[in-house]
Amino acid sequence: MSMHIKDAMIYDMEGNAPFKGDIYIEDGKIAQIGTDLKVCADEVIDAAGLVALPGFVDAHSHLGGFHMLNYDECDFNEMTDPVTADVCAIDGCNIQDKCFMDACKGGVTTMCITPGSGNPIAGLAFIAKTAGKDDIHELVMKNPSALKLAFGMNPIGVYGKKNRMPMTRMGVIKVMRDAFHEAKTYMEKKEAAGGDAAKMPDYDGKLEAISLALSHQIPLKIHCEQFDMITAIELAKEFDCEYTIEHAWGAEFYLPELKEGGGAVNYGPVGVPTGYGELTHANIAEVKMLEEEGIHVSIMTDAPITMPELIYIQAGEAVRRGLSHESALKMITINPAKTLHVDDRVGSIKAGKDGDIVLFDGVPALEVAAGVKYTIVEGSIVYRR
C-alpha cells in the first residue's frame, strides 16, 4: 500500500519553515518528501490548500478506560490498594469506546494511555496508535511505557474516605517511598541469588513492576500539581529514576526545581474552573514560562476528561496567551514524541518515520476555523471530513 499526498503546505516539525510539497508513504512509512514527486501510488490525496502536520502525540490520556457517562465502567482506577503497580492500562482499555474516533477527529494519532490517579502507585501505562487496527494490542508502540504515580487530592480523596493511608500528602510520599524501598531490596535479593532459583525471593508482581522504573527500563509518570512537584522530583532523585511531571498546574512557582530536576513536563489540561489548592493555577500561559526556562514541555489533554481535539485548541490558547506558534505546534508533536521516546517513529514528517499525517483546512493553533480534514495513520485514512 502506498499513498501520495500532493501539494500540501507542510509543517514538518523538523525545524524547516513551512513549505509546499508532496509526501509519499509506502508500507506505512514516509518514503519521500519533496516537490512534484514522480511516484505512482495506490491512493492519491490532492492536498492543495491543505496544511500537513505530523499526527499529534498526546502524552497523557485515559482513552478507552473511563466511560464518562457511566462511572461503573471506569476500568482505569483499581482503588483497592494504594499500590497497584502491576496493573496494566492496556488490560482496561476498550478500543470499541466511542472516544477512540474522537482522537482521529482531533488529529491525535499517538497516545500514551495511562491508569488513573486514584492510587499513589497506580499501574503501568502504554503507548499506542489511536486507529488503524481493531485490536488494541496491534496498535501498541511500547508496553509498558511508564509507571504511573499520583500525588495529591486524587489518592487522598480515595483512601481518606476509607480511613486508610494515605489520607494526607505526608502519607502519599510514605506509601511510595516504602514501596520503592521494598522493590529495591527485592531487586538486590534477585541479584544476590545470581540465577539460583532456590535463593530467589518469592515472585511479587508489584515489586517487579516498580523494578522496571528503578532499573531505568521505564520512566515514572507522575501526576502532580503545585508543591507536590517538589516531592515528586525528590522521590525521583532519591531512587535515580527518569520521570515526567504530569498536569503540572502551578509549575510557574517551581521553575528552578523543575529545571534542575531535568524531567519533562506534560502540561494540562486547561479549561477547568479555578478553585483552591490544586485548582488554583491551571493556566496555559505556564507552558511559555516553562519553555523560556529551557524545560522540555508538551501539551496534553487527559482525554476523555477533555476531548482529544483539545490538544490543538490548547495549543491555540497558548498562542493567544503569548506563546510562539512554532513552539505551540512542537508541544503537540515532536516534544511529546521525544518525551515518550518514540521520536524515532512519530512526531515529525521525515523520511523513515511512520506515515502518520493530519491534514487541516487551515493552520491549526493559529487560524480558529482550521479543522481536521484527514487523519492518516501509517498510510491509511482513519478519518475524513
Would you tell me which residues interact with another protein (CB under 8 A)?
Answer: 68-69, 98-99, 101-102, 270-276, 279-280, 282, 303-304, 306-310, 313, 316-317, 319-320, 322, 325, 365-371
Q: Three cell numbers at 138?
A: 496491534
Could you tell me which of 207, 173, 178 has the C-alpha nearest to residue 190? 207
- Closest CB to another protein among 232 and 282? 282
Q: Cell 474516605 identifies what position? A: 161
| Pair 228, 207: CB distance under 8 Å | no
* Best CA proximity match to 119, nearest among 210, 42, 237: 210
Q: DSSP for 326-344, please give it.
A: HHHHHTTTHHHHHHTT-TT
Q: Which residues of 95-110 are buried (b: 16+ CB within 10 A; e: fewer)?
A: bebebbebbbbbbbbb
Residue 101 or 140 having the CB closest to another protein: 101
Cβ proximity to another protein, 205 vs 322, nearer residue: 322
Report in angstroms how near the CB of residue 373 gets to another protein at its nearest.
11
CB-wise, 121 or 329, nearer to another protein?
329
In 127-203, where does DSSP find H-type helix?
A: 136-139, 153-161, 169-193
Min separation Cβ 285 and another protein, Å: 9
Q: Phi and psi dihedrals of 238, rounded to 5?
A: -55, -35
Eight-state DSSP code of residue 88: B
DSSP character at residue 354: B
Nearer to another protein, 17 or 69 (CB): 69
Closest CA to 243 of 268, 226, 260: 260
**Closest separation in Å from C-beta 323 to another protein:** 10
The DSSP symbol for 135 reads: S
Pick the closer one to another protein by CB: 233 or 323: 323
Comparison of 176 and 303: residue with beta carbon closer to another protein: 303
Instruction: Indicate the residue type of 8.
Output: A
Contact predicate 375/355, CB 8 Å: no
Minimum CB separation of residue 280 from another protein in Å reads 8
